[in-house]
Structure 1
């Protein structure tokens, strides 16, 4: 295949110009201006479109095994492709938990038939109970790309530190869900003005902040590569910034919903705006954006969390937390960050391509000769409306939103896996 006339933006090589790209057997073989087509070569004219490395999401829930009425590996991969993602990393809080080699291998084997790259984390503790550490060595050998008990915080500091030390010995990331349950009455709802209006006792930011403070220091002491997941508090951002200055190998994820919405979205969208950690104040949102701008937050991850309509139809305090995110992520990044002047398109893509690839040692995230032919092709200035979802679920507060950044193609391994 020959990709012609596309505007190539690649954060790794800092390329920002019109280039043609030749693909053979799923690999990039040539990048140059004005390439001439060869006999039998498929030509894709990308005039007016931007071509970037395929997006990489470090934090998704495909609910497989055990909760496949919400999502499964196949529908999750379709949602990812529609959103421009060619690589995703699945969390371990499935049923059963990914705490055994058998469960891990089952997922990875079934993922091989899908059209995108699907990677899988293993849990830190057996059954996500935070008490007994899984066999990191065996799970790493079987293909785990990292370790996390996402969904459940590691409340025991000693256990968390020992897990960090083990992950450090393997040179693998450990990702942490930061909430101290002792402060929380109802999760998924910020304790603030909106919760007071709703008459609900919610989850204060301090529940996250005390855990982030602890784990920043544990990261510094252990030398581990630590990821603070779905950061929601401005104070947490400052704690990560300080830990980085001290020399900790610490990273942070921001979700599109946390840099786009505030707690007030609950009044408009109800349970569709309930997520864990919750949406917080405008000040927190601005601090997250500042953290993205200065590199404190180096990853944009969706925390794609599909749920059924019946589950989200429950009362606010009973409905599960989480929203689908793969299909709206790029659009929200362009609309909320690039068009608002906070980030350049290059800076946005850095946090969605090369940074996650580097952190998890993945082969994608760059457009260069001999790299995988994984691309997202889009028009950053073209508007589109959030309507239908490829995911099994549609639990999103962004339904009906008009966003910039319409995706025209997703290409993975040199194959068109989404066309819109």
Structure 2
């Protein structure tokens, strides 16, 4: 049965969307309904394409007390995300073809949204044994990452880049030199003030500089996860000017928070990489606005209350983000007048689709998958962790007043979330 979403606002104009067989059959001012069509009145709502997040953690299998594919994808749908890529640091690690195939099937069975799987660069994420990149790509890996761990040896990274380049894959990299990180948990600017070990940005930038040279040598498509520092932005900017195949993401917490905002030993402000200085944060915003940074990704990292209990010194790294990313981006960028909605949405849809070749995701065009989100952009609301669909409640944004409330989310034309 066809669906028609009528009276929605698209690019400032009242419009209608026709859905047929899971695809968008048309977008325009008005359409004649076929007999039997389901009519959905979108009055007062703004339609945007379903968002894409290339960096989430669903913890399933092995760590399901933190999150499951089901609860993670429910959070995604509630946050307006219709396609997500999950990292391989589950138990067992996604580093073998059989494990990947089982995970791909599980993601499809349990996911409310489109859940793509990223595979490991090296066995167990921490060894120097490069995985069977070609076989994993053939089995459905969307990208390759050791997220949570930097690849320590240049020789290992070179071998991995050659293998990824040979199969036309993409590598999405957590940058962290263990020796320079040295057990740090906050930016050095906050270290003395908070009495906590510092984690220098050199841990990120030195690996990035190394990897840029390896990209130059191999031609590997290379994506920088959760950029955090001003110097990293400049390194990426220069690499792009040279035409190297590099893309980058930034998380909402690195865009909207910095170390000066950590007022005490609040574990919801612990993430890796850590919040850096105000100057770093401004450089990230500038890099996003000028295209140096391509996209926004949540790095959704749910934990139990026990995981985040105690001190920043010894609790788990990470915060949730799937249900806060869109309203935070809307509030800070669109409602403030810094950019228009189309630009903000491009960071969360068009750019990740292009960067990761996610052709199964839709962009609100005729012929695309009917991945559609309806927003109420007028109603203000407070971020309330107790209302999250995610098992994780760990966020430093609790209580913030924002706009951009997701009212309905459709995946392939099927309603997967409704606020009403």
TM-score (norm. length: structure 2): 0.95
Is 2:58 the partner of 1:59?
Answer: no
Q: Is the 8 A contact 1:153 1:179 kept in 2?
A: yes
Mean Cα deviation higher: 372-381 or 226-235: 372-381
Residue 158 of structure 1 pairs with residue 155 of structure 2: yes
Match of 1:28 among 17, 24, 30: 24
1:221-270, CA deviations, whole angstroms, 9 ceiling, x for partnerless residues? 21111001000001100110000001111011100011011113332571
The reply to whether residue 294 of structure 1 matches residue 296 of structure 2 is: no
Give the C-alpha shift of residue 307 in structure 1. 0.5
Asked if the contact 1:187/1:278 (under 8 Å) is kept, the reply is no
Alignment match of 1:181 (pick from 178, 182, 207): 178
Shift of the alpha carbon at 1:416? 1.1
Confirm or deny: 8 A CA contact 2:187 2:259 kept in the other structure. yes
Partner of 2:401: 402
Counterparts of 2:208 and 2:335, CA distance in 1: 31
Structure 2 Cα separation of the partners of residues 174 and 284 of structure 1: 24
Contact 1:57 1:301 in 2 (8 A): yes
Q: Which residue pairs with 1:123 in the alignment? A: 120
What are the equivalent positions in structure 2 for 1:181-330 lying under 5 Å apart? Answer: 181-192=178-189, 194-267=190-263, 270-330=266-326
Kept in 2, the 8 Å contact 1:186–1:317? The answer is: no
Q: Is the 8 A contact 2:5 2:18 kept in 1?
A: yes
Q: Secondary structure at the match of 2:54?
A: strand
Structure 2 unaligned blocks of 5 or more: none
- Counterpart CA distance in 2 for 1:226 and 1:191 is 28
Tell me, what secondary structure is at the counterpart of 1:175? strand
Q: Match of 2:135?
A: 138
Does the CA-based 8 Å contact 1:76-1:391 persist in structure 2? Answer: yes
Sort the Cα spacing of 1:188 and 1:343 in 2 relative to 1 into closer, same or farther, 3 A. Answer: farther
Alignment match, 1:96: 92
- Measure, in 2, the Cα distance between the counterparts of 1:189 and 1:136: 34
- The residue that corresponds to 1:344 in the other structure is 340
1:5 to 1, 4, 7: 7
SS for the counterpart of 1:235 is helix
Inter-partner Cα distance in structure 2 for 1:401 and 1:242: 36
- Residue 344 of structure 1 and its aligned partner are, at CA, apart by 2.3
Q: Is the 8 A contact 1:293 1:342 kept in 2?
A: no
**Partners in 2 of 1:341 and 1:293 — Cα distance?**
13
Distance, in Å, in 1 between the alignment partners of 2:180 and 2:338 is 33
Asked if the contact 1:187/1:276 (under 8 Å) is kept, the reply is no
- The number of residues matched between the two structures is 413
Contact 2:194 2:264 in 1 (8 A): no
Q: Say if 1:56 and 1:365, in contact at 8 Å, map to a contact too.
A: no
- State the Cα distance separating 1:355 from its structure 2 match: 1.1
Decide whether the 8 Å contact of 1:187 with 1:277 is kept in 2: no
Do 1:130 and 1:155's aligned partners in 2 also have CA atoms closer than 8 Å?
Answer: no
CA contact (8 A) 2:259 2:277 kept: yes
Are 1:378 and 2:375 an aligned pair? yes
Contact 2:143 2:171 in 1 (8 A): yes
Q: Which runs of 4+ in 1 moved over 3 A?
A: 185-188
Aligned to 1:364: 361
- Corresponding position of 1:50: 46
Per the TM alignment, residue 36 of structure 1 is displaced from its structure 2 partner at its CA by: 2.3
Q: Over residues 275-307 of structure 1, what are the superposed CA-to-partner deviations in whole Å (9 max), with x where a residue is unaligned?
A: 000011111111000011011100100000001
Tell me the CA shift for residue 76 of structure 1: 0.5
Name the CA shift for 1:236/1:54 in 2 (closer, same or farther; >3 Å): same
